Amino acid sequence: MTDKANSHAGLQEKLGHRFSDADLLARALTHAGADAERSNERLEFLGDRVLGLVAAQRLYELYPDDEGALTRRLHALVRWEACAAVGEAIGLWDHLTLTRSELASGGGRGRGPIMGGAVEAVIAALYMDGGMDAASRFILAHWDFTQDEVRDAKTRLQEWAQARSGGAAPTYTLVSREGPDHAPRFVVEAKVDGHAGETGQGNSKREAEQDAAARLLTRLETS
């Protein structure tokens, strides 16, 4: 085993996978601020998609919810806060390659997003080194798919807006209503002052508003 692989041996045990390509794991653990050329940003992109697919399939298997409710559950599971919580649980911070200021401050206010992104990158590394089986094992072992309730997306968006956009409440605009009376389909746009909106869909106006709020919140929190 190389020194690089050995330095992350304990982490690999927690990930449930022994890497054939130690450099791949090292890249997943490297923040852009510390090494822009070998950072984990591209891996974050891939890992986000792998997490979304595995989580969507698991939710589909577990819950008989309609599309709108499944979407809200999915958004709660793939948010950076959920990823960061997993990173904290497995002690990922101690394995990251960071700038001196980030190390000295313990990450400060940026610790959560840095950790969340690193977890997504690690998922991508697992996928590339061990296939979907390796990535799925990690995700299914560390994400909680049995939450009885998903926190209201409109409430979370309103809290975000109050904290960062001068207190103005989000607005919801009905874009369209299609389909027969017994099976309508609503499309609603959610907006926060100073930011582009996002549209959501649902079998009721309320569902569409929740879906739009969840989509907008996901973008705002990761931008």
Higher-pLDDT residue of 81 and 1 is 81
Give a yes or no: residue 147 inside a domain: no
User: Of the candidates 142, 167, 187, which is a domain's last residue?
Assistant: 142
User: Of the candidates 83, 114, 142, which is a domain's last residue?
Assistant: 142
Domain hosting 212: range is 153-222
Residue 186 sits in the same domain as residue 163: yes
Give a yes or no: residue 73 inside a domain: yes
pLDDT mean over 186-207: 90
pLDDT mean over 142-170: 77
Residue 78 sits in the same domain as residue 181: no
pLDDT tens digits, one per residue of 202-216: 888 888 898 899 889
Three-class secondary structure of residue 143 per DSSP: coil
pLDDT mean over 44-56: 97
Residue 118 sits in the same domain as residue 62: yes
Query: Of the ranges 50-64, 72-86, 137-151, which is most confident?
Result: 50-64
Task: Name the token pair of 160.
Answer: 């975000």
Give a yes or no: residue 87 inside a domain: yes
Give a yes or no: residue 148 inside a domain: no
User: Of the candidates 142, 176, 202, which is a domain's last residue?
Assistant: 142
Instruction: Tell me the CA distances in angstroms from 39 to 85, 87, 165, one per residue in order.
Output: 21, 17, 31
Instruction: Tell me the CA distances in angstroms from 200 to 19, 36, 63, 155, 180, one per residue in order.
Output: 40, 35, 20, 16, 19
Residue 5: predicted pLDDT: 47
* Lateral strand order in the sheet of 171-178: 171-178, 185-191, 198-202
Phi, psi of 26 (to 5 degrees): -60, -40
- Amino acid occupying residue 161: A
Look at residue 3 and tell me whether its pLDDT is greater than 60. no
Give Rg (Cα) of the chain: 19
> What confidence category does residue 189 fall into, taking pLDDT thresholds of 50, 70 and 90?
very high
Residue 157 CA to its chain's centroid (Å): 16
Active site residues: 48, 120
The total number of residues written for the chain in this structure = 223
What is the Cα–Cα distance from 151 to 148, expressed in whole angstroms? 10
Number of domains in the chain: 2
Q: Which of 151, 139, 134, 123 is nearest to 217 (CA)?
A: 151
Residue 62 sits in the same domain as residue 169: no
